[in-house]
Chain A
């Protein structure tokens, strides 16, 4: 993915297996969010393609890609600020169901799934960070995705919130949804990922199981060596 002459990502190729969790790690500026933006459709890749179930999706607009089954959360959360929690999720539920009553039903179910049921009438602008992150996830889930892209959903959470979010991720996996997750929180990503891809300066420097990655000297040097987790 080139921006003018600058290669934000180059020669990054990988596959995600259905129903698995793929972790994406790398130092800040490695190109992880850019990668999400390419998968999600905000950027058209200058070279290469994105395939979903063997069908080319790169170059399509984000809303089409969402329709096809990829949902994402944003690193800096984007709640629909002046709307309530429930309305936020109703808005995204309309993608899959017709009629306000059904959208509300799907929204309530998704909100309960992410533990926000008691907060459903609160205006999202006033929510603390942990709940905003859960709202991001709930909104993405209401579009009934096949693949969920989570961008640093665990950043800035306290220990209790971390445990709750890990539980939610596990429940999502149980539903058969494939997940790709960007995270800096080492313990989290090592514990929930099936496979991990490591980026540095826009290039893939390693790929493998969490154990393989932890032992990989390149990774340790580029990333794990510089900071001991979060």
Chain B
């Protein structure tokens, strides 16, 4: 039964639009799947391979701008951004990885944080290329309704899910986890740690870039402070995976639902408004202390606590 959960989730997700939701709810769902994709990508590098990146906005932004610049400078449809970003973000990730993967632990984290910020500032300053702080606006909207956007991002997210699952169940998965658990031991066992860390980073970055390219097409407007955002992209990506469950297949999806839905819910409460950031912080602290493997990772513990609460309240 448990094995079928992903397929059940996918089926429900595919049928959801027929429930006749408002465009607002559809927007929320699209956001959930964008974040699921970013989260799963981050999880590959951070959760499974153990390289905690604080700069995934760099890949998201490069992907977003790939789509944006193809449109603004070359007059192409921004949808070309998705296939193009595979190459462009891939190369970008390779170059960035060549620099930052020499570092371990907190130093790697700091270097990735810096790289995200460097990209943001670069995009702001290369005004002739990126439009600077004015950003890029896509004038033509491909579809008025949300339906096709929803199915495209659902396709991207599910493809990511199955790709990650296939990879982790293979030799690559064992090598990633070995590197995470003990890089020196892994190296001594014949694992080319530099090579495999680079694969993890490039895959992780490229998938995030695809999400970025989709974002440009969906939102119709990008600027450096949105797509290269340290908190709103890089940090939220980490929080989603940590809350949902690091190194689990469905963790990022659960995390995305919680973060997106919670953010919207709290934002709508009068008087609370932007306090949702504080509540996220508190939620993250609670998770790290009591459920360090996230909701999916520590699900047995969570269900025990919940059932005990239900029993005592009767």
A residues neighboring B (CB under 8 Å): 40, 42, 61-64, 66-67, 71-72, 74, 78-83, 87, 90-92, 94-95, 100, 103, 139-140, 143
Contact = CB atoms under 8 A, between A and B. Distances in A.
A94 B188 contact: no
A90 B174 contact: yes
Contact of B189 (A61, A81, A95): A95
A90 B181 CA distance: 14
Contact of A61 (B174, B175, B187): B187
B175 A94 contact: yes
Contacts of B189: 63, 66, 71, 91-92, 95, 139-140, 143
A83 B181 contact: yes
Interface of B: 169-171, 174-175, 177-178, 181-182, 184-193
Contacts of A71: 188-189
B177 A91 contact: yes
Nearest to A103: B171
A78 B175 contact: no
Contact of B188 (A62, A79, A81, A103): A62
Contact of B174 (A42, A62, A64, A87): A87
A58 to B, nearest CB: 16
A63 B181 contact: no
26 contacts: A40-B188, A42-B187, A61-B187, A62-B187, A64-B192, A66-B189, A71-B188, A71-B189, A74-B185, A78-B182, A79-B182, A79-B185, A80-B177, A80-B182, A80-B186, A83-B181, A87-B174, A91-B174, A91-B178, A91-B189, A94-B171, A95-B190, A100-B171, A103-B171, A139-B185, A140-B188
A22 B61 CA distance: 57
A92 B187 contact: no
Contacts of A42: 184, 187
B181 A80 contact: yes
A57 to B, nearest CB: 13
Contacts of B187: 42, 61-63, 66
Given A40-B188, A72-B188, A63 B175 contact: no
Given A91-B177, A94-B174, A103-B171, A80 B193 contact: no
A81 B183 CA distance: 12
Given A40-B188, A63-B189, A143-B189, 11 more contacts: A63-B188, A63-B192, A79-B182, A80-B177, A80-B182, A82-B177, A82-B181, A83-B181, A87-B177, A91-B177, A91-B178
